[in-house]
Amino acid sequence: MITTALTRLFGLDHPIVLAPMGGVAGGALAAAVSNAGGLGLVGGGYGDADWLRTELNAVRRATTRPWGAGLITWSASRAVLDQVLAARPHAVLLSFGDPRPHGALIKAAGCKLICQVQDLAGADLVVAQGAEGGGHGALRATLPLVPAVVDALAPLPVLAAGGIADGRGVAAALMLGAQGALVGTRFHACDEALGSLRARQCIVQASGDETARTRVFDVVRGLDWPALYTGRALRNGFMARWQGDEAGLARDVSRQREAFQAAQRDEDFDTAMVWAGEAVDLIDDVAPAAHVVERLARDA
């Protein structure tokens, strides 16, 4: 068993954290990771109250181990934060924006604060997220970013994220000075993940060369993400058509959004997106989350 500041902070068996992927990391997946000895985080996404109620109740019923939730900082309202804190998570992860308006409230609730941003706001843990990861992120690569953040913030513990999908990646994160790994795409390809089985199969079949960072899926969904953050997804026909012509997409967005929403319903992933990181090369099966945690920890 690997012991780090992360495992001691939460009483974990393994220094492995589930990335709070919106629409994917629900209560069942978070509980499965926590029950296997890691830290499961429910993905709060854009703050749908009904969805959160369902998934927060699910994780509370399914585990007595430490668990948490993640919120998109620029999108999360006070009402959403209050709803999450009322469920009494052990940790809340804030990503993509200034955490200070929410950070004090999280700490006052007796909850650990994890920040995936540069502004620390009293964080107990900081996530250094490399651009290789799936979903939204910035520009720096994981390998040089993690030790730079570790050195800059010592003795505050740091988690590594971005392109980690097997035990070698977890071990590398620890060797770079991180106290654990935040893992996303590998857990997307798990039985307990929410959403489409076809999307999980796309991840298994893809290679890292088939991913790219883009804004087109945010434009078509009408999401006003800060300019710094793009999202890494599997390349598809929609991306090929609109990448580099985001202004044209914005002009035709009403018609394109209707077609995009239909593709999401039909699981047509030549138009709808599958967020995925470069480490898809290392994912060759859809497996129970407990098996993934065990495999990551054993191989590390």
What residues does each domain of the chain span? 5-194+282-299, 207-278
CATH class of 5-194+282-299: alpha beta
pTM tops 0.75: yes
Q: Who has greater pLDDT, 280 or 104?
A: 280
pLDDT of 118: 43
Average pLDDT, the chain: 95
pLDDT of 127: 95
pLDDT of 119: 45
End-to-end CA distance of the chain: 10
pLDDT of 231: 96
Residue 241 has pLDDT above 50, yes or no: yes
Q: What is the pLDDT of residues 194-225, one digit of tens each?
A: 999 999 999 999 999 999 999 999 999 999 99
% of the chain with per-residue pLDDT over 70: 98
- What confidence tier does 159 reach under pLDDT thresholds 50, 70, 90? very high
